[in-house]
Structure 1
Amino acid sequence: MKKLIPLFLFICNVSAYAQADLITNIPSRKTTSLNGKWQYIVDPYETGFYNYRYQERNENDREAYWNSDIPENKTDRKEHGYSDKYTLNVPGDWNAQDPKFLYYEGSVWYKRSFDFTKSDTANKVFLYFGAVNYQSDVYLNGKKLGQHKGGFSPFQFEVPDNLLKQKDNFLVVKVDNKRKADEIPTLNTDWWNYGGITRDVLLVEVPQNYIRDYFVHLKKGSTNEIEGWIKKSNNGNEAITLEIPELKFRKKLAATGDSIAFNFKLSKLQLWSPENPKLYNVVIQSASDRVEDKIGFRNVEVQGSKILLNGKPVFLRGICIHEEIPQEIRRANSPADAIQLLSQAKELNANMVRLAHYPHNEHMTRTADSLGLLVWSEIPVYWTINFTSNEVLEKAKCQLKDMITRDRNRASIMIWSVGNETPVHEARTAFMSNLVKTAKLLDSTRLISAALEVHNTNGVQVIDDPLGQYTDLVAVNEYLGWYSGLPSNARTAKWEVKYNKPLFFSETGAEALGGYHADSLTRWSEEFQEWYYKEQVEMMKRMPENFVGLSPWILNDFRSPRRNNPEYQEGWNNKGLFDQKGNKKKAFYVLKAYYDEMEKNYKK
Structure 2
Amino acid sequence: MKRSVLELDGQWLFQIDRDEKGVERGWHKPEYQAEGWRKELVPGNWDTYLPELFGYAGQAWYRCTFRPQAAMRGARLHLRFEGANYATTVWLNGQEIGHHEGGFDPFGFDVTDKVSFEGDNCLAVLVDNWPRLSRVPNSYAGWWNYGGIYRSVKLLALPVVRISDVSIHAEPAGSDEPAPLALDVTLVNEGRDLVEAALSAQVLAGEEAVHLMGGPLGATVTLTPGSEARLSLSNAIPQAKLWSPEEPNLYRLLLKLEQNGTVLDEQEINFGVRSFRVQGTQLLLNGKPIAITGFNRHEEYPGTGRVDKAGTLEADLRLIKQMNGNMVRMHYQGHPDLYEIADSIGLLVWAEIPTWGVGNRDANELTDPGVRQVAESMLRTLIASLKNHPSVVVWSIGNECATNRPEARDLFGHLAELARSLDATRPVAYVGMFDADEKCFDLVDLPAINKYMGLNASELGHRLDAIHALTPDKPLLVTEFGHEAGLGLRGQGYGTEDEQVQVLRTNWEVIRARQDYVPGGLIWCLADYWHQPAGVEHRWLNRIYFCHGVTTLAREHKRAVAAVKQMWANLDA
Fold agreement, TM-score > 0.5:
yes
Q: Structure 2 vs 1, CA of residues 494 and 473 (structure 1 numbering), >3 Å: closer, same or farther?
A: closer
Q: TM-score, normalised by structure 1?
A: 0.84
Counterpart of 1:394, as a letter, is Q
Partner of 1:228: 183
Matched position secondary structure for 1:393: helix
What do the CA deviations read for 1:339-389 (whole angstroms, capped 9, x no partner)? 12212212221111112x111111111111111000001101111340112
1:49-448 matched pairs, under 5 angstroms: 49=23, 51=24, 63-69=25-31, 81-82=34-35, 86-119=38-71, 123-161=75-113, 163-219=115-171, 224-234=179-189, 237-245=196-204, 246-249=209-212, 250-255=216-221, 258-287=229-258, 288-325=264-301, 327-328=302-303, 330-333=305-308, 336-355=311-330, 357-385=331-359, 386-423=365-402, 424-448=404-428
Contact 2:85 2:129 in 1 (8 A): yes
Counterpart of 1:319, as a letter, is F
Partner of 2:261: none
Task: Pick one of 471, 475, 492 that aligns with 2:448.
Answer: 475
Counterpart of 1:580, as a letter, is L
Distance 1:120 1:339 in 2: 33
Distance 2:385 2:290 in 1: 26
Matched position secondary structure for 2:448: strand
Task: Pick one of 540, 550, 553 that aligns with 2:524.
Answer: 553
What do the CA deviations read for 1:233-281 (whole angstroms, capped 9, x no partner)? 2396523111113314541123365111122112121111111111112
Offset, 1:213: 0.8
Counterpart of 2:28, as a letter, is W
What do the CA deviations read for 1:300-358 (whole angstroms, capped 9, x no partner)? 11111111111111111121111111x33511446923212212212221111112x11
Offset, 1:481: 2.3
Q: Structure 2 vs 1, CA of residues 380 and 147 (structure 1 numbering), >3 Å: closer, same or farther?
A: same
Offset, 1:544: 4.4
Contact 1:274 1:351 in 2 (8 A): yes
Distance 2:107 2:142 in 1: 25
Distance 1:82 1:317 in 2: 53
Distance 2:118 2:270 in 1: 34
% identical aligned pairs:
28
Q: Structure 2 vs 1, CA of residues 571 and 118 (structure 1 numbering), >3 Å: closer, same or farther?
A: same
Q: TM-score, normalised by structure 2?
A: 0.89
Distance 2:70 2:372 in 1: 39
Q: Structure 2 vs 1, CA of residues 116 and 234 (structure 1 numbering), >3 Å: closer, same or farther?
A: closer
What do the CA deviations read for 1:382-413 (whole angstroms, capped 9, x no partner)? 11340112232111100100111111111100
Matched position secondary structure for 1:469: helix
Offset, 1:558: 0.6
Task: Single out whichever of 378-387 and 234-243 deviates more from structure 2.
Answer: 234-243
Q: Structure 2 vs 1, CA of residues 427 and 493 (structure 1 numbering), >3 Å: closer, same or farther?
A: closer
What do the CA deviations read for 1:396-440 (whole angstroms, capped 9, x no partner)? 100100111111111100001000011211221211111010001
Offset, 1:132: 0.9
Partner of 1:539: 510
Partner of 2:18: 44
Offset, 1:580: 2.8
Counterpart of 2:179, as a letter, is N
Contact 2:139 2:145 in 1 (8 A): no
Counterpart of 2:221, as a letter, is A
Contact 1:319 1:552 in 2 (8 A): yes
Task: Single out whichever of 85-94 and 160-169 deviates more from structure 2.
Answer: 160-169
Counterpart of 2:560, as a letter, is A
Partner of 1:569: 542
Task: Single out whichever of 445-454 and 429-438 deviates more from structure 2.
Answer: 445-454
Offset, 1:294: 1.5
* Segments of 4+ moved more than 4 angstroms: 219-223, 486-494, 563-567
Q: For the aligned residues, what is the CA RMSD? A: 2.3
Alignment of 1:495 with 2:470, yes or no, is: no
Structure 2 unaligned runs (5+)?
223-227, 259-263, 360-364
